[in-house]
Structure 1
Amino acid sequence: MHDTTDNECTLCPTFRSNLDPRTPDRWPVCEGCRLRLSRLIGELHDLHERLANPEPAEAGRRRYQRLDTQGRAETVWADPLATIGGSGPIPSKPDQPHVSGTPSKSTPANLDHIDLTNEARIPNPTPQARKHPWDQIGNLSVATRLDEVVRDWRDTLWPGHHLPPPTVPELVMWLRAGHTPEYAGNRVDEACTGHPGIADTAAELHQLRGTLRAALGETDPRPRHWLGVDCPHCHEISTIQQAPGDDYAECGNCGRMYTGDQMAEIVHEQAAAART
């Protein structure tokens, strides 16, 4: 649980850990963090899709010429398996006896990829595992983690609503903006207002995002800072920043969000005012 006072946003410690928590207009979550949580859930879907459907490796195309048995020149692939991506290294049998403490051979597949992209399942740990959860290894799948959140939100806020199919696209759709004709609102926004565990849920999903990015070999890109531009809402200068790929720029001081068109208009107006 995050340590915040009664008048501070409970999600700022997750999304803005290097800044002081904001005072929300709608307690307990500020407007900026409400939007950040919705974007985070959508990003989990995109990261999962890229992990589950990686781009095929480019096949090697190196060739060289040699003479055949008749003395004629011919062109051959440098790697006989180049057209299917090339051959991997084949380890030879070690000539030393196995002794206790020898590292185990690595697995032929990336277990993190397999774990994270598996289908949803209801965890059923043994009594021993329940007593020592920190000893468990591996990752629950993205579908499993999202299904847990969906079930928690449904039981807490919408007990009469049906659960969506436990696939990542369907679960994300349900969490962000409703899924069936029985609901046409914004579940993220309502959960930020009415769910008592929203801070823990946001922290868990934020951690899951980091796990997915690590599995993809990615790091967080640095945001763009709008230097010299003051926020029209709070009038703080150079506090507006925009992460690569985001549709909105956000003021780090007050949390106000601006679209690309709004930022262009703000820059134009402030540049014109500076010339007068």
Structure 2
Amino acid sequence: MTDSTTCICCAIFRPDATPRTPTDGPVCAVCRWRLRRDVVAIGRLHRDLTTPELVDGDRRLVEVVDDEGNPTGMHRWADPAAAVLPVGAVPARSGQPIVTGTRAHSTPIDLDTIDLIAPANHVTVHDPYNDQIGYISAATILDSWCRALHVTVFPFEPRPDATVPTLVSWLTGGFPESRMDSVCSQYPAIPDLAGEIRRLCIAMRGAAGETELKPQVLWGVPCRRCNLVSHLLRDEEYIECGNCQLLLTDAEYRTWVAEATKRFGARPAVTSQD
């Protein structure tokens, strides 16, 4: 693969910003990190979505009484919802005409979640008209990419089992560098892979009720390159200038803050603001 002058994955992870110039292969360091972050997040979200919630039920025995309130000598389980739900008003009989029929049964779990946590399906589904609903499962998407990578990039390595934990571990593992780094450097279809992983991660966050953390503005800190103040944004592991796209690691940022403190005579404010 020939080196690109701009990162071929910036359009996926930061579509509203100017693409960076990568220093190692066609994918910049931050997009490599964000791709790996999404793969790891998919593994965690899959675990959360497949773990049933534990509902505290009232397992006490209560005595059964007759219509006059006298004990009958029998016992029953307390209402399992009584321990977790408040008592509500009982509606009176409606004066509207009675409509008969059978109510459709609702699903016990969100259908999107069912789709996303389903086992891997190796049958290819095409949707040329974009009129289908629902999601392809995480196991299906990860397994299809791992199969392709096994053939093109890692032909001499064992192919992982088609379960989400195993597939995530295989993608993020490897020696001396992770397989994800090798893919970013060697795999021609890395933008397609990154785009599908990004969409899958967003869908799973939505099913789990999560939102992504917004970058934090480092107020009062001048950029080391363009010298504009409060344009530095912290995104978990990296600090980036929103004006000139300067990229700093946390260690580089701390060194710059110490240098700026000596240069300007006062420590810049580094607090964040929503």
Cα 1:165/1:269, change in 2 over 3 Å: same
| Residues 112 and 134 in structure 2, CA contact (< 8 A), matched pair in contact too | yes
Aligned CA distance change for structure 1 residues 275 and 184 (closer, same or farther; 3 Å): closer
Structure 1 residue 69: deviation in Å? 1.8
Asked if the contact 2:30–2:238 (Cα under 8 Å) also holds between the matched residues in 1, the reply is no
- Residue 164 (str. 1) matches residue 160 (str. 2): yes
Aligned to 2:94: none
**Contact 1:28–1:193 (8 Å) recurs in 2:** yes
Q: 1:251 to 1:120 in 2, by over 3 A?
A: farther
Identity %: 33
Q: State the superposition RMSD in angstroms.
A: 3.5
Q: Structure 2 matches for 1:38-57, cutoff 5 A?
A: 38-57=36-55
Match of 2:117 in 1: 117
Q: Structure 1 runs of 4+ off > 6 angstroms?
A: none
Indicate which of 7, 10, 13 corresponds to 1:12: 10
Deviation of 1:55 after TM superposition, in Å, equals 3.9
Larger Rg: 2
Unpaired stretches in structure 2, ≥5 consecutive residues:
60-64, 72-76, 87-97, 267-274
- Identify which of 31, 34, 38 aligns with 1:33: 31
Give the secondary-structure state (helix, strand or coil) at the position aligned to 2:263.
helix
Cα deviation code 1:175-220 (max 9, x no counterpart): 1222xxxx54321112112111101111111011110011112222
Task: Quote the offset at 1:255 in angstroms.
Answer: 5.8
SS of corresponding position for 2:130 = helix
The CA distance in 1 between the partners of 2:44 and 2:19, in whole Å, is 28
Which structure has more helix as a fraction of its residues? 1
Contact 1:59 1:86 in 2 (8 A): no
Tell me: CA distance 1:267–1:215, structure 2 relative to 1, closer, same or farther (3 Å). Answer: same
Written as runs of structure 1 = structure 2, the 5 A alignment for 1:1-150 is 6-57=4-55, 69=69, 80-82=79-81, 95=99, 106-125=106-125, 130=126, 132=128, 134-150=130-146
Matches within 5 A, 1:242-253: 242-243=234-235, 246-252=236-242, 253=244
Separation in 2 of the partners of 1:239 and 1:25? 23
Q: 1:240 touches 1:250 (CA, 8 Å); kept in 2?
A: yes
Asked if 1:201 corresponds to 2:197, the answer is no
| Alignment TM-score, normalising by the size of structure 1 | 0.72
C-alpha offsets along residues 151-196 of structure 1, whole Å, 9 cap, x if unaligned?
1111111222210122212211211222xxxx54321112112111
Q: 1:249 to 1:223 in 2, by over 3 A?
A: same
TM-score of the pair, normalised by structure 2:
0.73
State the number of aligned residues: 240
Q: Is the CA contact (8 Å cut-off) linking 1:143 and 1:167 kept in structure 2?
A: yes
Q: Which amino acid aligns with 1:158?
A: F
- Indicate the residue corresponding to 2:74 in structure 1: none
Per the alignment, do residues 255 and 165 of structure 1 end up closer, same or farther by CA in structure 2, a change over 3 Å counting?
Answer: farther
For residue 269 of structure 1, what is the aligned residue in structure 2? 259
Partner of 2:220: 228
